[in-house]
Structure 1
Amino acid sequence: MRASTFIQVFLSLQAVSAIRIIQSNDDGWAEGNLRALFTTLVNAGHQVILSAPAENKSGSGSSDSQPTKVDSDGCAWNSCPPNSPPTGANSSDPRLNYVNSYPVTSIKYGIDTVAPKLWGANSKPELALTGPNVGSNVGLAVQFSGTVGAAVYAARTARIPAIAFSGASDTKSPWNDVSFAAKVYADLAFNVTNTIIAKGTPYLPEDVWLNVNFPDVSQTKCSNPSQFKYILTRINSGILSKRDVQWCGTDRLPTESDIIKKTGCYVAISVGDAADKTTVDAERQAVVLEKLRPLLTCV
């Protein structure tokens, strides 16, 4: 664990109670971004169940289909054998689960099947985290993202507050050799997650999810979590929309696309409407703003 991660974990444990978290993505259950965040959350004391597609299902939006038997290639990165059952778990860690179907199907399986088995019938997940996706999910891409689709399912159908994370660094890495970017993204996602948890329940308003996008990172650019600034944004341009919450001297938030394109280490956080995957109204933005206020800054 890097020194910055250790400090963040130590400080967060002083103020944040451990909760039950369901994790998923659309890049596959063995992808490094997802696994790095799982490890960070578990090390901080949270109870975590990971339930994600057996292989890459990027761009599958809100598709949902009965899981099928794994084909002759096996799961991604040889993480399950050829012709494995439609669903399965890591042989040494039942918290790590694959579903040979879409992200929505995967997170649904984790909520409805794995969580009651591991936590008990009356202990559903308290928060859903999807990603960090390999590649950004901003603007029109939000509508087609499986990582977003899983988060929206959790928020709207399962009634579990949800956050979708995405990172601009688009190099995939396997579960047993996670990339440098995956470790940085895990730290950043952990920071956002614990900021929300620290403010208590309800973590988010009903039918609301957060769309969080991290910039491109490397060992020479935006390499330390302390370098990042978190900006409240909106998903769509909003030219014809009602005004946003009053923040940073304006009632029109910047788009996440504009923030991610800026030079610097900026994290875009948009408050999404689970009904249509666009930006929510100013009233619900205001509720989330108060929860994120300790983290946010102005451009």
Structure 2
Amino acid sequence: MRVSIATALTTALGLAQVSSGIKILMNNDDGFGGGNIRELYRLLKGAGHDVIIVAPAVQQSGQGGRTDFTTSPNLTAPTQYNIIPAGAPSLGTDPNDSNIWYYNGTPAACTFVALDYVLPNFYPDWTGAPDLFLSGPNYGVNLGAFVYSLSGTLGATYAAIARSIPGIALSASNKALSYKDVTNTSNPATWAATVSFKVVEQFIDNTGPSQPILPLGYGVNVNIPPLTSAELPPVVKTRMTGEAEVDYAAYNETSGLFTWENLRPRAAGVNACYNGDCSLPGETYVVGGGGVSVSVFTIDYDAPSVPYTEMVFEKAASLFEGAGGGDGNGTYKAKRHLTARRELFVGRDLKD
């Protein structure tokens, strides 16, 4: 199961190498001042890539794909680590780097603000959408399919993928650390960023000059185990839906409050295998054993063409026959929605 990063990713992609810099948009759910994202930003810039960060003004973990835009034009409290004071605009840049932006919204909202406002208005040389979207590295791993609806790291990523931009979510096992406290290269934030950089560079380097980094609608979820150095651990192809955890509401009789705990035995529903290679190990197992997990996912939520799917449709078969708005064959005739169009960073979306 354990293979080198070059073998695992180069073989999987089967693409010619290129070395030129690309346009990368970064985000996370831990805030724009986190050590992890700042260190990965530094490494990517050092490799010659054109990189911009647009990330939450404060920590926004657990927001999933929720798109929450601030209702105030100004910050009502300082940003994390007091980088920006209260009263400053709700959207702005780091005082020391104009390519690092904060926005007082959820991670997914930051993705959209970046694509629809920051890039078109402040980066005219970005004549198209970003070549790649990166989220993280997160503080704490995001393992299993259930975090797809919970994790802000994943939420920011699939918001970009929905806009036809290749996206990679990165999560590490270290604790939160301000970029101000990263004073040397021997620390967990730099280690997490270095391992992330090595994985991301494989996807970049093994992409042809006229080829997108990922196929349309595809994303990658990377999880990194605890590290003691910047050395790359074994890298393993994994499944998101394999030995995955799911939460339950644990009641504390003393406090009268609820918190989350991991369900035991593990829930069968979240680990059911209908798509992909069911022989691949799960992310949770691999990271628990000290490996880096690399899972490939799509944002096509439709059920696969298997007998179970047909059985589900069959239960409502009478509803599909001659239903209003349909053609008698279960085909819905949608009305074309007309709206004003403007130039947005929409990746590979077709424009009419």
Q: Indicate the TM-score class for this superposition, using the shorter chain for normalisation.
A: 0.7 to 0.9
Distance 1:29 1:188 in 2: 20
> What amino acid sits opposite 1:214 in the alignment?
I
Compute the TM-score of the two structures, normalised by the length of structure 2.
0.67
Which aligned pairs between 1:230-249 and structure 2 lie closer than 5 A?
A: 230-237=235-242, 240-242=272-274, 244-245=276-277
Distance 2:275 2:65 in 1: 28
Deviates more, 1:142-151 or 1:119-128: 119-128
Compute the TM-score of the two structures, normalised by the length of structure 1.
0.78
The 1:82–1:272 alpha-carbon spacing in structure 2 relative to 1, beyond 3 Å, is same
Q: Tell me the CA shift for residue 69 of structure 1.
A: 4.1
The 1:118–1:277 alpha-carbon spacing in structure 2 relative to 1, beyond 3 Å, is farther
Distance 2:48 2:236 in 1: 28
Q: CA RMSD in A?
A: 2.3
Give the length in aligned residue pairs.
252
- Specify the structure having the higher radius of gyration (Cα): 2
> What amino acid sits opposite 1:185 in the alignment?
A
The 1:88–1:243 alpha-carbon spacing in structure 2 relative to 1, beyond 3 Å, is closer
Match of 1:59 among 59, 62, 66: 62
Indicate yes or no: 2:36 matched with 1:37. Answer: no
Q: Give yes or no for contact 2:30–2:139 (8 Å, CA) kept in 1.
A: yes
Distance 2:74 2:32 in 1: 13
Match of 1:79 among 75, 80, 83: 83
Q: Tell me the CA shift for residue 120 of structure 1.
A: 3.2
Q: Give yes or no for contact 1:26–1:133 (8 Å, CA) kept in 2.
A: yes
Unaligned ranges ≥5, structure 1: 1-13, 246-250, 280-299
Which aligned pairs between 1:1-299 and structure 2 lie closer than 5 A?
A: 15-67=18-70, 68-116=72-120, 117-120=122-125, 122-139=127-144, 140-156=146-162, 158-169=163-174, 171-178=175-182, 180-200=187-207, 201-217=211-227, 221=228, 223-226=229-232, 228-237=233-242, 240-242=272-274, 244-245=276-277, 252-262=279-289, 264=290, 266-276=291-301
Q: Tell me the CA shift for residue 258 of structure 1.
A: 0.8
Distance 1:193 1:57 in 2: 24
Q: Deviations over 1:189-238 (max 9, x none)?
A: 11111111112222111111100000012xxx3x1324x11100010138
Secondary structure (helix, strand or coil) at the match of 1:215 reads coil
Secondary structure (helix, strand or coil) at the match of 1:144 reads coil
Secondary structure (helix, strand or coil) at the match of 1:26 reads coil
Distance 1:57 1:278 in 2: 31
Unaligned ranges ≥5, structure 2: 1-16, 243-269, 305-352
> What amino acid sits opposite 2:276 in the alignment?
D
Q: Give yes or no for contact 2:190–2:230 (8 Å, CA) kept in 1.
A: no
The 1:119–1:37 alpha-carbon spacing in structure 2 relative to 1, beyond 3 Å, is farther
More helix by share: 1
Deviates more, 1:67-76 or 1:199-208: 67-76
